[in-house]
Amino acid sequence: TATSGVRVITFGDGRLNALGALTRKRLFEDLQTAESDKSVSSVILLGAGQNFSAGADLTEFDNLVASTQNSVSLVDVVNYVEDFSKPIVAAIQGVALGGGCELALACHYRVALPTARIGLPEVTVGVIPGAGGTQRLPRLVGVQKALNMILTAKPVSATQAFDLGLVDEVAATTDTSLEACAAKWADWAVLMPLNDRRLSRQS
């Protein structure tokens, strides 16, 4: 959907929106289309259904090399999002966990419903965040708070995320108002420099 220069890209299967190979490929292609479209001035990323994204597709873990060969990796996606030439706003509902949180961190702005939960629970399955979360989160919320989120694996609420500086605004409770809130930021972001919002580029 594109309205007044704002393109809404909805991704995932409508359930947990796990970031498996097919979802990554489609998202990457949709982003490329939006970037090359001169009528698009900014982008909103929205998970299909009731969640932003629960992160990696755990069914790919048994054959991680095969899952990334000849496909777009999650690192490719998040780096492309961060380096995108137009502002991208993450509209977070439900959960944004693991790779889903890392995708949101790569976006230039983040808004969330009050019921959203955001976190990096990778340590519970014996790994650490592998798509930039360990770099971007400390630069956004500070080292101590980031370490606490990563090592305890406990997600934070939208209100807590706002207090931490992890999200820019907590929207009202309906999906329509989430998109409206994100669109407000997407319109405003066009006027602002992007480099200040590229977390991995900060020293």
Distance of CA 19 to the CA centre of its chain: 11
The Cα-based distances of 85 to 12, 18, 57, 66 in angstroms read 23, 26, 28, 31
Residues catalogued as catalytic = 102, 122
Report residue 156: phi and psi, to 5°.
Answer: -110, 155
What is the rounded CA–CA span in Å between residue 161 and residue 118? Answer: 7
157 - beta bridge partners?
A: 117
